Amino acid sequence: MGATEPLLYWSASHDNIYVANEERGYEIWVLDFKGKLIRKIQKEYRKIPVSENYKKKTLHSFPEYMREKMKDVLYFPAFHPPIQSIVAGDDGVLLVSTFEEGKNPGEFMFDIFNEEGVFIGRKSLNVWVWEGHLWAQIKADKLYCLKEKDSGYKELVVYNIKWE
């Protein structure tokens, strides 16, 4: 049994739907609201090995009485998928959470694409991702997201966004 389900991510802006599927690698399909493919966003990526820390955190999500048994049942691949999750802003800007560790503990690197699907940069952020869902929204030049503290407590954080 795989440690996680195959990942399928989606998000929507005011006029597009963004869909990524773990099986396609780092490829995000941009569709209109009728389901017509507008473009594909692709990017080279570095394979990130699945760490012992990640395995422990995954096992810790099970009730204590099940953890020892799950060690023998779960299969962890050698590498993470290229994408952890995605979130689109109303303006069409797309944030893509990778499994690459960020600059500070608890942070991951995010790739940023403009409304035309052009890569414009990267940012290290602590945004809570749970079961493939990125707990964030982009509205009116602000990023609203849940951040997980070391204690496990979640707090709402608001970032001002300025694209340069």
105 pLDDT above the threshold of 70: yes
> Does a structural domain hold residue 125?
yes
E strands within the chain?
8-12, 17-21, 27-31, 37-42, 85-88, 94-101, 108-113, 119-125, 129-130, 133-134, 136-139, 142-148, 154-160
State the residue range of the domain holding 67: 8-160
Split into its structural domains, the chain has a count of: 1
CA distances to 49, 60, 67 from 56, rounded to whole Å, are 14, 6, 10
> Does a structural domain hold residue 123?
yes
> Does a structural domain hold residue 2?
no
> Does a structural domain hold residue 29?
yes
Q: Comparing C-alpha atoms, which of 85, 89, 96 is closest to residue 44?
A: 96
> Does a structural domain hold residue 98?
yes
CA distance 32 to 78: 35
pLDDT, tens digit, 9 for 90 and up, residues 14-39? 899 999 998 899 999 999 999 999 99
Confidence band of 134 (pLDDT split at 50, 70, 90): confident
Confidence band of 6 (pLDDT split at 50, 70, 90): low
> Does a structural domain hold residue 3?
no
Give the pair of three-digit tokens for residue 39: 């473009």
Write the DSSP symbol of residue 16: -
